[in-house]
Amino acid sequence: MVPFEFLDSLSYEIRGAAMDVYNELGPGLLESVYEKAMIHELRLREIQVSSQIPTPIIYKGEVIGDELRVDLLVDDTIVVELKSVEEIKKVHYKQLRTYLRLLNRPVGWLINFGEGDFSQGMIKIENKTFKA
């Protein structure tokens, strides 16, 4: 089981990194720019982060592909999906929930750098099917 305090602390750092990136770069850039900036900012905070993680698609016990890519995996624990769109849609939530389920991670963050009010652009999602 991942301790709640660890997830909370790591989530705090992810949010802080995202706010720093947003304050520095502002809205309207490509997702790839925000991804590189987030990687840099998290590493400045001495947090381990991987990007574009192949996500295996398992169907009835068989891996049938790995075409999906997770934007960021922070400390091998929290999935971060980055967007740069005017508005988060239901499909974005579904995408992150699917990544959490496929990778069996407890928490994910959906971060939209295109949001006018950036505080509304950071959404935490818990994986209800997570198995420690």
H/E/C letters for each residue in 59-124? ECCEEEEEEEEEEEEECCCEEEEEECCCCCCHHHHHHHHHHHHHHCCCEEEEEECCCCCHHHHEEE
Stretches where the chain sits below pLDDT 50 are none
φ, ψ for residue 39, nearest 5 deg: -60, -45
Pairing of strands 107-112, 49-59: unpaired
* Residue 18: Cβ within 10 Å count: 24
CA distance 34 to 83: 9
**For residue 83, what pLDDT is reported?**
97
Residue 1: what pLDDT? 65
Query: What CATH number labels 4-126?
Result: 3.40.1350
pLDDT of residue 30: 97
| Token duo for residue 26 | 């502002």
Amino acid, res. 23: N
**What's this model's pTM, rounded to 2 decimal places?**
0.93
